[in-house]
C-alpha cells in the first residue's frame, strides 16, 4: 500500500509540474496580449473541458504532458487578419523568447522552492556518519520492503542493531559511511568479517557472514546510514537552494550528454555501474518514489528523498526542454533567435528584414526528432520495467 501511495505522490507531482509548465507559457502569453485558445493537460481524447472567455481549459485522456495553443505560433498557421496583431508571430522577439522560456523557468522555480522547503522545513540530511539502521532482511530488489520468505540480512543475523555506530571493519577503523562501503567491498560475499560497533558507549565485536544479492555486485551487509537532519534558517535556505540547484543542474547536463552512451547499456546486467545507470524514465522515477515511501526509514528521510526525486526530474526536464531542437521549446527559441540575428545583420547591411523562417523546411527535422524522442522514451521505459536500477548498496 505504501508503495502505491509513493507512486501516486510522484504522478500527482508530475502532473502539477506539467500544469505549471504550461501555466508559464499561458500567463506570459496573456501578459503580452497574445491570444491563447486552449490550455490542456494531457493528450488525446478530451475527458473534460470548460471555456472561460476566449480560452478552453481541459484534461485529455493521456496524462503524458500538456499544451497551450497560442494563435500564430509559426509562419504557416492560418490566422484571421483581425487577430493577427495578437498572434505570437506578430509580437517582438524578446516577448516571444520570454513566452517560450517560461515553461522551463517554471520547472526551475519549482525545483528552487522545493529545495528551500527541504532545507527550512525538513532539514538537510547528513548521512556521512557511521551510525546505522539495520535492515531485517535481504530484499528482493533495492529499497524494496521485506516480504514473506526473504532471508534475514547478515547484519540482523549477527545481532547488529539499529543505532549501532560502526567503528571498525576487519580491525580497520572507519570514520564515515564511505569508508564503511569501501571496507565491505574489500571482502567477497560469503566471507566472515568482524564488525566492531559502539552501542551505548560499549564496544562490541560481531562476526558477520556477508551475503550476495542478485541486483548488484559485491557483498551485502544489510545496513543503511541513519541520516541526521539539520534545519536551516530562511536566509541560509536560499543559499542552500541555490547551491544545490547548481549542483543538480550540472549533473543533469552531464547525464544529458551521456544519453547516447547510455543506450547500449540499458539492458546490461550491471546497468547501475554503466552509463545506462545515469538515466531513467518517469516509470523508474515513480518506482523509486514508491520504494522509498515503503522503505523502513524515518519520515524525514522519506520526505527528503521524495522531494529530491521531484526536484531532479524538474531540473532535468527544464534543461532538456531547452535543447535547441524542434519540437522542443528550445527549438522554437532557436528559430526566434535566428530570425532576430538575421534581421539584425540585414539592418547592418541596409537590407530588408528577411522575415520569418520558412517553418515548412523544418517540419521533416521536427518530425524526425519527435520520432526519436518517442522511441528513446519507450526504450527507457522498457529498461526501467525489465531491467530496473538498483539505487543503494
Outline which parts of the chain fall under CATH 2.30.42.10.
132-226
Q: What is the pLDDT of residues 234-285, one digit of tens each?
A: 999 999 999 999 999 999 998 888 888 888 888 887 777 777 777 888 888 8
pLDDT over 90 for what percent of the chain? Answer: 55
pLDDT of the residue at 88:
95
Whether the per-residue pLDDT at 187 is higher than 50: the answer is yes
Q: CA 112, 381, 281 angle in degrees (round to 5)? A: 10
Cβ–Cβ under 8 Å, residues 64 and 43: yes
pLDDT of the residue at 390:
54
Distance from C-alpha of 360 to C-alpha of 367, rounded to nearest angstrom: 11
Nearest CA to 193 out of 171, 167, 163, 215 is that of: 171
pLDDT of the residue at 335:
93
Cβ–Cβ under 8 Å, residues 290 and 223: no
At residue 392 the predicted structure's pLDDT band, cuts being 50, 70 and 90, is very low
pLDDT of the residue at 75:
83
Using only C-alpha atoms, the chain has a radius of gyration, in whole angstroms, of: 26
First to last CA, the chain: 25
Whether the per-residue pLDDT at 393 is higher than 50: the answer is no
pLDDT over 70 for what percent of the chain? Answer: 97
Distance from C-alpha of 292 to C-alpha of 295, rounded to nearest angstrom: 5
Whether the per-residue pLDDT at 115 is higher than 90: the answer is yes
Q: Residues 56-77: what's their mean pLDDT? A: 89
Q: Residues 351-380: what's their mean pLDDT? A: 88
Distance from C-alpha of 55 to C-alpha of 196, rounded to nearest angstrom: 67
347: CB partners within 8 A, 6+ apart: 353
Active site residues: 22
| Angle (deg, nearest 10), helices 282-294 and 363-386 | 30
Distance from C-alpha of 231 to C-alpha of 120, rounded to nearest angstrom: 5
Whether the per-residue pLDDT at 206 is higher than 80: the answer is yes
Distance from C-alpha of 391 to C-alpha of 393, rounded to nearest angstrom: 7
pLDDT of the residue at 266:
86
pLDDT of the residue at 268:
82
Q: Which residue has the higher pLDDT, 383 or 170?
A: 170
Superfamily of domain 132-226: PDZ domain (2.30.42.10)
To the nearest whole number, what is the mean pLDDT of the chain?
89
Give CA separation, 32 vs 70, 96, 345, in Å.
12, 9, 26
Please identify which residue in the block is written with the cell numbers 535547441: 324
Q: Residues 11-15: what's their mean pLDDT? A: 91
Whether the per-residue pLDDT at 136 is higher than 90: the answer is no
8: CB partners within 8 A, 6+ apart: none
Cell numbers found for residue 187 = 571482502
Amino acid at each position: 500500500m505504501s508503495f502505491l501511495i509513493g507512486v501516486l505522490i510522484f504522478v500527482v507531482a508530475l502532473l502539477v509540474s506539467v500544469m505549471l509548465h504550461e501555466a508559464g507559457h499561458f500567463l506570459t502569453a496573456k501578459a503580452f496580449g497574445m491570444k491563447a485558445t486552449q490550455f490542456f493537460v494531457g493528450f488525446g481524447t478530451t475527458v473534460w473541458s470548460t471555456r472561460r472567455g476566449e480560452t478552453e481549459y481541459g484534461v485529455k485522456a493521456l496524462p503524458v504532458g500538456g499544451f497551450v495553443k497560442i494563435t500564430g505560433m509559426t509562419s504557416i498557421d492560418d490566422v484571421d487578419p483581425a487577430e493577427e496583431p495578437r498572434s505570437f508571430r506578430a509580437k517582438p522577439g524578446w516577448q516571444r523568447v520570454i513566452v517560450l522560456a517560461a515553461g522551463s523557468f517554471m520547472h526551475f522555480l519549482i525545483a528552487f522552492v522545493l529545495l528551500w522547503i527541504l532545507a527550512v522545513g525538513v532539514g538537510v540530511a547528513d548521512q556521512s556518519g557511521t551510525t546505522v539502521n539495520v535492515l531485517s532482511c535481504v530484499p528482493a530488489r533495492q529499497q524494496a520492503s521485506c516480504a514473506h520468505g526473504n532471508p534475514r540480512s547478515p547484519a540482523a543475523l549477527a545481532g547488529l542493531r539499529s543505532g549501532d555506530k560502526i567503528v571498525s571493519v576487519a580491525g580497520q577503523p572507519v570514520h564515515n559511511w564511505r569508508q564503511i562501503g569501501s571496507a565491505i567491498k574489500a571482502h567477497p560475499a560469503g566471507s566472515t568479517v568482524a564488525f566492531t560497533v559502539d552501542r551505548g558507549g560499549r564496544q562490541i565485536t560481531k562476526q558477520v557472514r556477508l551475503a550476495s544479492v542478485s541486483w548488484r555486485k559485491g557483498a551485502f551487509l544489510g545496513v543503511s546510514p541513519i541520516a541526521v537532519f539539520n534545519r536551516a534558517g530562511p536566509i541560509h535556505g536560499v543559499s542552500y537552494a541555490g547551491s544545490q540547484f547548481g549542483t543538480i543542474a550540472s549533473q543533469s547536463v552531464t547525464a544529458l550528454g551521456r544519453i547516447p552512451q547510455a543506450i547500449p547499456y540499458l539492458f546490461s546486467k550491471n546497468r547501475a555501474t554503466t552509463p545506462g545507470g545515469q538515466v531513467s524514465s518517469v516509470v523508474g522515477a515513480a518506482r523509486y518514489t514508491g520504494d522509498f515511501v515503503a522503505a523502513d526509514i524515518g519520515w524525514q528521510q522519506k520526505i527528503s528523498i521524495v522531494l529530491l526525486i521531484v526536484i531532479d526530474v524538474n531540473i532535468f526536464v527544464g534543461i532538456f526542454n531547452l535543447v535547441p531542437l524542434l519540437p522542443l521549446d528550445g527549438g522554437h527559441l532557436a528559430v526566434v533567435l535566428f530570425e532576430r540575428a538575421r534581421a539584425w545583420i540585414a539592418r547592418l547591411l541596409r537590407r530588408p528584414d528577411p522575415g520569418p523562417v520558412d517553418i515548412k523546411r523544418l517540419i521533416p527535422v521536427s518530425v524526425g526528432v519527435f520520432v526519436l524522442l518517442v522511441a528513446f522514451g519507450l526504450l527507457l521505459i522498457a529498461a526501467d520495467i525489465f531491467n530496473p536500477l538498483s539505487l543503494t548498496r
